[in-house]
Structure 1
Amino acid sequence: MGGAHASTPLSTRAAVSGARRVVVKVGSSALTSLAGGLDPVRLDALVDAVAARVAAGADVVVVSSGAIAAGLAPLGLTRRPRDLASQQAAASVGQLVLAQAWSASFARHGRTVGQVLLTAEDLSRRSNHRNAQRTLERLRVLGVVAVVNENDTVATAEIRFGDNDRLAALVAHLVGADALVLLSDVAGLHDGDPRLGGATLVREVGGDGDLLGVSAGTGGALGTGGMASKLSAARLAADAGVPVLLASAAEAGAALGAAEVGTAFAARGARLSARKFWVRHTADAAGALHLDAGAVAAVVTGRRSLLAAGVTGTEGEFHAGDVVDLLAPDGALAARGVVAFDAAELHTMVGRSSADLPVELRRPVVHADDLVAG
């Protein structure tokens, strides 16, 4: 994550505190308990902090976990179910409870709430990706606070985001956020498990060197995330040019104020375009192209378009316009890109120079504008 263009610790926190458009992710553990479902006191405190940031002139999108956890108590369940059908049933009850709770709490500040339910498939398809983007933008223009959640009632094990930390990072880029704030039940990233004692808070992450010796754990009883997923989401957002603050939900006011609490992750270099971010992080690969060493150097180091001469083989039944993985000779992911040919057509072009191809096929297999190094 480091590099010549990485922000300094001071400018990272200043960027978060001064961000005009902010995505705030709230974890299940910050909203609910196993015994009593949603905790209205904690929810109101979080809403007060968000409403204060909105009143100060920021546009805020909330990414809320907690639908399944909120559905446990009404269904008489004592712990998060493990089977998918029961999770979906709990979510169908909990999403209604959660949406009503957010709406009622924001109403205390005269704010209207709009619920946006997404699945991984919604963001992997370019058309659905744009539709979600337009909806969120229109809600912003109308002065509505969007509360985004994964649509757990229809998501399956194959298409789930896995946790709302990653969803929050994807939404941050989707709406062009200037900062991402991840709120949980821990004070930030530590070099070990703070519950065991002796762990030290890592206040600033400017590059991968700051993560040496850091051990991230897994999720708790109410959620699917945990520090490992938060670290992954923070790095995803920071790598795409969005500064991140990871802090405790109990310190939401400070996190959304001066941003002097928690762990700050510096943005890395320039922000990726929406299309290139989609290609790298969101779209599902429909297949793969195997490249020779010269082609890998051309697309990764030279940032040049991929030509048929550098392709040694294909995998999958992809079509023109699909995203494909570009693989080095050893099978490692070198890049991803939008392919310009169907698999059947490209199969006849493998390894051939442009001069040996019909005129209508003398164009890049993947254009440089549609290519992102892995």
Structure 2
Amino acid sequence: MREDVRVNLPLANRAGVARAPRIVVKVGSSSLTAADGSLDLPSLRHLVAVIAARRAAGQQVVLVSSGAIAAGISPLGLPGKPKDLATAQATASVGQGLLVARYTEAFGRHGQTVGQVLLTAEDLIRRQNYANAQRALERLLALGVVPVVNENDTVATDEIRFGDNDRLAALVSHLVRADALVLLTDVDGLYDGPPTRPGTRLIRTVTTGADLAGVEVTGRGSDIGTGGMVTKLDAASIATGSGIPVVLTSAANVEPALAGEEVGTWFAATGRRKSARRLWLAHAAQVRGRLHLDAGAARAVTDGKRSLLAAGITGVDGDFEPGDAVELVGPDGVVARGLVAYGSQELPAMLGKSSAQLRENGDTLPRAVVHRDDLAQVRPRRRR
């Protein structure tokens, strides 16, 4: 995967969003859809007007927009969001054309051109696809075009089950090496509980994971969208862990948010820019199985940045081949992902054995089960 030549340091605060050379803006279905399921054209045109003004001021903007399935509901006369995959795919096919037509018309009023970019997980899993997507987006931006990115729901199945573009927006932010990611939703920021419950508090700034301690979020969004605050926090974690700060606020606040004003929740960058390969491993690679590690091995691959050896593995789950991506699970949950050097049929006989023992058993050149160059750490999450 070719890395982009842009070199950018994390923004120190939200005021920097107004001066950032390149940003990604993500808007959800609930912010673009009227009560009857049709596209809310006034809201869409307001969003476009704000982005067009930023673009006219010299800022490059990539727009990640949900809404294809929602836009197709009304033309097809459906009573609501489709429940089955085939109907959802057909609805997305109808709605995507309508959605892009509205964006083309709205940006055209400001003398600006849009380009549609449809992505699936394959475009972030396969290295050649990743490089092609990166090259296309870079060229669109260089030509002064506003890329409108969406999941290719018509042919993708995982994306429809995932149900929202939050994670995609975070990955696209890394793909184009954006200076900031702005997530627009139907609430004005992150609250420490349900926003409608009396006494809940808006969290203005998140600088470390400790700031999220005790925060109560739900996994379901609106009836039209299927995201929710959980997917927003996942996206924020992906972006900030890769050195990209995030602003989370409502679509109604898009203008002050892009102007760098104190609206919504600011997630400060917590990590450094990752290589495309490690980001792919951590967040986009299709996992085929799990390796269970003892505490010592978990520390070795995280704190020690060392390769994973068979001696530290206590169990194997899944059906995978050499070169597949697997999760590494320590006593406290998933700690890393990596490309495994052995298949699931070979590994059980190797568990707990040192390199010397493996040589005694006939493996003259025992390899690391997962080499450190093929490892990407992830934030620990508890097993379900």
TM-score under structure 2 length normalisation: 0.85
Where does residue 327 of structure 1 map in the other structure? 329
Where does residue 4 of structure 1 map in the other structure? none
Cα distance in 2 between the residues matched to 1:336 and 1:267: 22
Cα distance in 1 between the residues matched to 2:73 and 2:143: 34
Where does residue 245 of structure 2 map in the other structure? 243
Where does residue 63 of structure 2 map in the other structure? 62
Q: CA shift at 1:344, angstroms?
A: 5.0
Q: CA shift at 1:96, angstroms?
A: 0.5
Question: Is contact 1:120–1:160 with CA below 8 Å preserved after alignment?
Answer: no
Residues 50-104 of structure 1 show CA distances to partners (whole Å, capped at 9, x for unaligned) of 1122222222111101111111221122422222222222211110100101111
Where does residue 85 of structure 2 map in the other structure? 84
Question: Is contact 2:16–2:260 with CA below 8 Å preserved after alignment?
Answer: no
**Kindly tell me: are residues 294 and 231 of structure 1, through their superposed partners in 2, closer, same or farther at Cα, counting changes over 3 Å?**
closer
**Kindly tell me: are residues 360 and 242 of structure 1, through their superposed partners in 2, closer, same or farther at Cα, counting changes over 3 Å?**
farther
Where does residue 26 of structure 1 map in the other structure? 27
Deviating more after overlay: 162-171 vs 342-351:
342-351
Question: Is contact 1:14–1:259 with CA below 8 Å preserved after alignment?
Answer: yes
Cα distance in 1 between the residues matched to 2:370 and 2:347: 11
Cα distance in 1 between the residues matched to 2:87 and 2:225: 15
SS of the residue 1:11 aligns to: coil
Structure 2 gap ranges (5+): 1-8, 379-384
Where does residue 206 of structure 1 map in the other structure? 207
SS of the residue 2:183 aligns to: strand
Question: Is contact 2:192–2:214 with CA below 8 Å preserved after alignment?
Answer: yes
| Paired residue type of 1:97 | L
Cα distance in 2 between the residues matched to 1:212 and 1:348: 41
TM-score under structure 1 length normalisation: 0.87
Where does residue 116 of structure 2 map in the other structure? 115
**Kindly tell me: are residues 77 and 194 of structure 1, through their superposed partners in 2, closer, same or farther at Cα, counting changes over 3 Å?**
same
Deviating more after overlay: 152-161 vs 256-265:
152-161
Cα distance in 2 between the residues matched to 1:193 and 1:293: 36
Counterparts of 1:1-374 in structure 2 under 5 Å?
Answer: 11-35=12-36, 37-156=38-157, 160-217=161-218, 218-328=220-330, 330=331, 332-343=333-344, 350=351, 351-353=353-355, 357=359, 361-374=365-378
| Paired residue type of 1:130 | A
**Kindly tell me: are residues 232 and 311 of structure 1, through their superposed partners in 2, closer, same or farther at Cα, counting changes over 3 Å?**
closer
**Kindly tell me: are residues 163 and 309 of structure 1, through their superposed partners in 2, closer, same or farther at Cα, counting changes over 3 Å?**
same
SS of the residue 2:131 aligns to: helix
Q: CA shift at 1:158, angstroms?
A: 7.8
Question: Is contact 2:120–2:159 with CA below 8 Å preserved after alignment?
Answer: no
Cα distance in 1 between the residues matched to 2:54 and 2:259: 7
**Kindly tell me: are residues 258 and 339 of structure 1, through their superposed partners in 2, closer, same or farther at Cα, counting changes over 3 Å?**
same
Deviating more after overlay: 138-147 vs 174-183:
138-147
SS of the residue 2:13 aligns to: helix
**Kindly tell me: are residues 158 and 174 of structure 1, through their superposed partners in 2, closer, same or farther at Cα, counting changes over 3 Å?**
closer
Q: What is the aligned-residue RMSD (CA, Å)?
A: 2.7
**Kindly tell me: are residues 116 and 160 of structure 1, through their superposed partners in 2, closer, same or farther at Cα, counting changes over 3 Å?**
farther
Which has the bigger relative contact order, CA under 8 A and spacing at least 6?
1
Deviating more after overlay: 240-249 vs 32-41:
32-41
Cα distance in 2 between the residues matched to 1:214 and 1:312: 34
Question: Is contact 2:37–2:70 with CA below 8 Å preserved after alignment?
Answer: no
Cα distance in 1 between the residues matched to 2:263 and 2:164: 23
| Paired residue type of 1:205 | V
SS of the residue 1:254 aligns to: helix
Where does residue 3 of structure 1 map in the other structure? none
Q: CA shift at 1:184, angstroms?
A: 1.7
| Paired residue type of 1:275 | R
Q: CA shift at 1:313, angstroms?
A: 4.9
Query: How many residues are paired up?
Result: 366
Structure 1 gap ranges (5+): 1-6
